[in-house]
Structure 1
Amino acid sequence: MTSSPSIPPAASQAAHEPVPSVRLIAIGDEILSGRRQDKHFSTLIDLLQARGMRLKAAEFISDDEDDIVACLRRSFATGDLVFCCGGIGATPDDRTRQAAARALGVGLALHPEAARLIGERCAEMAAKGQGSADMSTPENQQRLQMGVFPVGADIIPNSYNRIPGFFIRNHSFMPGFPVMAHPMMAWTLDTRYARWHHQEARVEHSFLVFGLPESRITPALESLEQRWPGIRAFSLPNVGDSGGHPHIELGVKGEPGAAAEALAWLRTEVQSLGGSLNPPI
């Protein structure tokens, strides 16, 4: 008997449930050494923003199994929604599946649905003259290792080549390949976490300020956060690279109504302190 992904209840059951934090864990020595450039961080931000959600944190770790175990033990102890990319293949440097099982204190087992999907993939390749559809061959037995997941895991469908990732304890494990991982991220957000889409009314506004030192505007930023609890102010100085004028990008983020009020107040404060909203001529 095979099983299919276990999907949470409908959105109405979580209408008043706080939106959990979302985090990314990217696993792989090749990222830390610079042999590969991470592509998951910016994509996950875009996918979340399109659904009214946001990324809380990201972590990049090595392929060392003990490092992965320690990271996942901390992560599983949270209630966060976590996307883990990398290390779920079946070569010696792929240790994420084993580390996840160790972190949870459970065993590993071949997931029946994963076995079926891997078998289908092997049959497709055999029909193209690549390999064999006989799952008893050493090569296909090795491929089946990619469906060995921590006990209790569900699959994450892989639209690229059928070989699935796995989901357990609000952690989604997927390959490091962006062409596979990014559709799997989108599927997870739309299938498992749709109840949290657009639950938070949140905006971010900013404007540029010229001729004003950051030290002079800082007290106003502190006052803003006291006047509008829940609104966060930010200041991003720019020294004028590439021939531009030095300036500060000032902004606010939070609930739309309060953010609009805080932004208007901040603009007035900037001008009263001698700042200009236009670059020098």
Structure 2
Amino acid sequence: MNFGVIIIGDEILSGKREDKHLPKVIALLNERGIALSWARYVGDDPARITAHLREAFASGDVVFSCGGIGATPDDHTRQCAANALGVPLALHPQARDLILERMRDIAAEQGLPYEPERADNLHRLNMGMFPEGAQIIPNPYNKIAGFSVGHVHFVPGFPVMAWPMLQWVLDERYPGEHSAERPREQSVIVFGAMESTLTPLMEAIEARFDGVKVFSLPSVDHPQWGRHIELGVKGAAGPVAEAFAELLAGLRGHGAQLGPELVR
């Protein structure tokens, strides 16, 4: 299956907060031998969020949506998910019980009476309003659950909550997607060559080796290597090794000046 991530929040697009989700999602997937296929950022705009989620539900991909599932006026994700699916929001019984349990815990910690009918506590129940038919994602940090609908999974924006929840989804829902063999990259630093002259070689290697992608990363002011191209291949270890050997042979045939070789 393909895996994607949608990261929601004006604070990311404005630069008030630096996104930490994308590198973490990539790391969590790589630890399980899975590659991230795509990522998108979107602000707190209900129409845009709904459009992205509608596409995510229709894609058949495994999609992680990070952010916007709280209960403040700028948290639109739960309603947008329901709109994208064409279903109403409903208070999830298990999510409700977990929210009530959290309220009880807070009251005990503060030495206060447990008052579930208090206005602010009733408002907290909104965090358990999910699209009809959703399943919960446990939140080990504070018990306020996330939710899944099909292969689209919704977690909070707070990394301390979101990351263990993403791990849970990957390990509980998609163990069959895990691979003992992690994706591999092999590349070489190429000096004094133009991408345009190397493109036919790159195209020939991709055509010959199924599942192998060729990449080219030019740089004009690298602090160590100066002007160069990092040219490489990525995919499963076996085909990558064979494709890289052919890439090196082709570069030498072009008379390219080769620098260090890199393996990731």
Work out whether 1:44 is the aligned partner of 2:20: no
- Aligned equivalent of 2:166: 185
The aligned amino acid for 1:107 is P
Do 2:188 and 2:232's aligned partners in 1 also have CA atoms closer than 8 Å? yes
- Aligned equivalent of 1:62: 43
The aligned amino acid for 1:228 is F
Work out whether 1:269 is the aligned partner of 2:250: yes
| 3-state SS in 1 of match to 2:226 | coil
Q: Residues of 2 paired with 1:120 and 1:140: CA distance? A: 11
Work out whether 1:234 is the aligned partner of 2:215: yes
- Aligned equivalent of 1:225: 206
Change in Cα spacing, 1:148 to 1:131, as seen in structure 2 (3 Å) is farther
- Aligned equivalent of 2:150: 169
5 Å matches for 1:117-132?
117-129=98-110, 132=113
Residue 126 of structure 1 and its aligned partner are, at CA, apart by 0.9
| 3-state SS in 2 of match to 1:92 | coil
Do 2:5 and 2:40's aligned partners in 1 also have CA atoms closer than 8 Å? yes
- Aligned equivalent of 2:115: 134
- Aligned equivalent of 2:9: 28
Do 2:31 and 2:182's aligned partners in 1 also have CA atoms closer than 8 Å? no
Change in Cα spacing, 1:63 to 1:130, as seen in structure 2 (3 Å) is farther
> Where does the alignment leave 5 or more consecutive residues of structure 2 unmatched?
none
| 3-state SS in 2 of match to 1:77 | helix
Deviations 1:73-123 (A, max 9, x none): 111111110100111111111111111111111111111111111111111
Work out whether 1:253 is the aligned partner of 2:215: no
| 3-state SS in 2 of match to 1:219 | helix
- Aligned equivalent of 2:64: 83
Do 1:125 and 1:132's aligned partners in 2 also have CA atoms closer than 8 Å? no
Q: Identity percentage over the alignment?
A: 51
Q: Residues of 1 paired with 2:145 and 2:22: CA distance? A: 21
5 Å matches for 1:138-217?
138-198=119-179, 202-217=183-198
Residue 152 of structure 1 and its aligned partner are, at CA, apart by 0.5
Q: Residues of 2 paired with 1:174 and 1:201: CA distance? A: 26
The aligned amino acid for 1:100 is A
The aligned amino acid for 1:71 is H
Change in Cα spacing, 1:22 to 1:77, as seen in structure 2 (3 Å) is same
Residue 244 of structure 1 and its aligned partner are, at CA, apart by 3.5
RMSD: 1.7
TM-score (norm 1): 0.87
The aligned amino acid for 1:136 is E
Q: Residues of 2 paired with 1:241 and 1:257: CA distance? A: 31
Do 1:122 and 1:131's aligned partners in 2 also have CA atoms closer than 8 Å? no
Q: Residues of 1 paired with 2:69 and 2:172: CA distance? A: 21
- Aligned equivalent of 1:115: 96
The aligned amino acid for 2:73 is P
Q: Residues of 2 paired with 1:82 and 1:222: CA distance? A: 30
Do 2:33 and 2:180's aligned partners in 1 also have CA atoms closer than 8 Å? yes
Q: Residues of 2 paired with 1:210 and 1:271: CA distance? A: 12
Residue 243 of structure 1 and its aligned partner are, at CA, apart by 5.8
The aligned amino acid for 2:101 is E
| 3-state SS in 2 of match to 1:277 | strand
Structure 1 window deviating more from structure 2 (181-190 vs 266-275): it is 266-275
How many residues align? The count is 260
Q: Residues of 1 paired with 2:232 and 2:52: CA distance? A: 33
Deviations 1:27-67 (A, max 9, x none): 11111111111111000000000001111111111212122
